[in-house]
């Protein structure tokens, strides 16, 4: 499980505009849903004991957050306090706290508070004062406040939060997370363990068969259709690239083999080998599929 989005995007970037837009959307959507599936696996299979009181408080925190959204509460500080308290409740409930991050992601408003027409009215009102002001008159503090409010609320909270968090995630959290989970001495004997070998084969063959097979069934059952400009050889390449796993795969391995250093080392080696083969195989297949069009 858990296709790594960053590496998939990197492979597709090698081919530039030659990759159909529909195939890019398919792969990115697949990777995101795959990560959500991995989080559900963590929550369901790596929870030893449930504290029902704390779970109830966590559910109440999620419901309160949804209510704040519905009421139109905007200050980020309010959501921060509720979010931290809810995260702690999830953690104390026995469920892995990554599930709290996923739920809050869904609860974050993706639409701006001000629509385009309201923004235009506010800007036109201030623009009229700028174009024909008395000599030497400056904008009032109220006008400046309107401009600041309009600029902030014309962008959705989700977009603002993503923009604010991106440098921290991209340059600090993800590198530290990747280094902490990837620390493994690659030895030939690591793959001698059946754990590493099976994980590698699962990424290379299992993901390819699963993604391509269910996509084919969905099209044949008329539940879906191939994206425009995408062929079945391209879908095979996409299925191979779906076998690239890194951060979440390593994270699950760490949970699965906690206290078993030998198996954990073998699992990490299997993930890295399987991802490497899936990435190279998918890239070569995609190159061939693009030429066939």
Domain holding 283: CATH number? 1.20.1530.10
For residue 136, the model assigns a pLDDT of 47
Q: What are phi and psi of 137, to 5 degrees?
A: -80, 140
Q: Is the pTM of this model over 0.75?
A: no
- Per-residue pLDDT band for 288 (boundaries 50, 70, 90) equals very high
* Whole-angstrom distance, CA of residue 113 vs CA of residue 119: 10
Higher pLDDT, 272 or 149: 272
- Give yes or no for residue 131 having a pLDDT over 70: no
The number of folded domains in the chain is: 2
Residue-wise pLDDT tens digits, 159-177: 888 888 888 887 888 777 7
Answer yes or no: are the C-beta atoms of 187 and 269 closer than 8 Å. Answer: yes
Q: What is the mean pLDDT of residues 50-59?
A: 91
Q: How confident is the model at residue 232 (pLDDT cuts 50, 70, 90)?
A: very high
Do 261 and 200 share a domain, yes or no? yes
Between CA 133 and CA 127 the distance in angstroms is 10
Residue 29 or 111, more confident: 29
209 and 278 fall within a common domain: yes
238 versus 36: the higher-pLDDT residue is 238
C-beta atoms surrounding 35 within 10 Å? 19
- Taking the alpha carbons of 78, 89, 34, 243 in that order, is the dihedral positive or negative? positive
> Among 82-86, 106-110, 151-155, which range has the highest average pLDDT?
82-86
Pick 192 or 292 by higher pLDDT.
292
In a domain, 14, yes or no: yes
Residue 133 is part of which domain span? 119-153
Report if residue 271 sits inside a domain.
Answer: yes
Mean pLDDT of the chain: 84
Cα atoms in the 13 Å half-sphere on the side-chain side of 69: 19
Assess whether 212 and 279 both reside in one domain.
yes
In whole angstroms, give the CA distance from residue 291 to residue 87: 49
276 shares a domain with 205? yes
pLDDT tens digit sequence for 65-85 = 999 888 888 777 888 899 999
Residues 206 and 139 in one domain: no
SS3 category, 86:
helix
Length, in residues, of the chain: 293
Q: Quick one: 195 and 262 in the same domain? A: yes
In this model, does residue 141 exceed pLDDT 80?
no
Residue 180 lies in a domain: no
Residues 125 and 194 placed together within one structural domain of the fold: no
**Per-residue pLDDT at 184:** 59
Q: Is 107 part of a structural domain of the chain?
A: no
132 shares its domain with 220: no
105 domain residue, yes or no: no
């Amino acid at each position: 499980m858990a296709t790594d989005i960053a590496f998939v995007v990197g492979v597709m970037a090698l081919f530039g505009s030659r990759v159909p837009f529909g195939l890019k959307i398919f792969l990115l959507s697949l990777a995101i849903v795959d990560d959500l599936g991995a989080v559900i696996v963590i929550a369901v299979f790596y929870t030893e004991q449930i504290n029902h009181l704390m779970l109830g408080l966590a559910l109440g925190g999620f419901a309160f957050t949804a209510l704040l959204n519905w009421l139109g509460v905007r200050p980020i500080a309010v959501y921060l306090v509720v979010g931290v308290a809810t995260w702690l409740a999830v953690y104390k409930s026995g469920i892995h706290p990554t599930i709290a991050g996923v739920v809050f992601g869904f609860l974050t408003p993706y639409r701006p508070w001000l629509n385009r027409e309201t923004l235009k009215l506010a800007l036109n009102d201030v623009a009229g004062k700028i174009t024909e002001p008395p000599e030497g008159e400056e904008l009032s503090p109220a006008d400046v406040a309107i401009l600041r409010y309009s600029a902030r609320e014309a962008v959705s909270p989700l977009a603002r939060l993503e923009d604010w968090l991106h440098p921290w995630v991209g340059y600090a959290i993800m590198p530290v997370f990747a280094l902490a989970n990837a620390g493994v001495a690659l030895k030939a004997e690591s793959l001698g363990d059946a754990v590493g070998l099976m994980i590698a084969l699962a990424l290379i063959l299992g993901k390819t068969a699963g993604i391509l097979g269910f996509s084919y069934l969905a099209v044949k059952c008329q539940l879906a259709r191939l994206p425009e400009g995408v062929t079945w050889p391209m879908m095979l390449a996409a299925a191979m690239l779906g076998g690239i796993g890194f951060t979440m795969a390593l994270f699950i391995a760490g949970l699965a083999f906690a206290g078993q250093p030998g198996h954990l080392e073998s699992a990490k080696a299997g993930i890295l080998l399987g991802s490497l083969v899936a990435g190279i195989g998918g890239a070569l297949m995609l190159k061939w599929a693009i030429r066939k069009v």
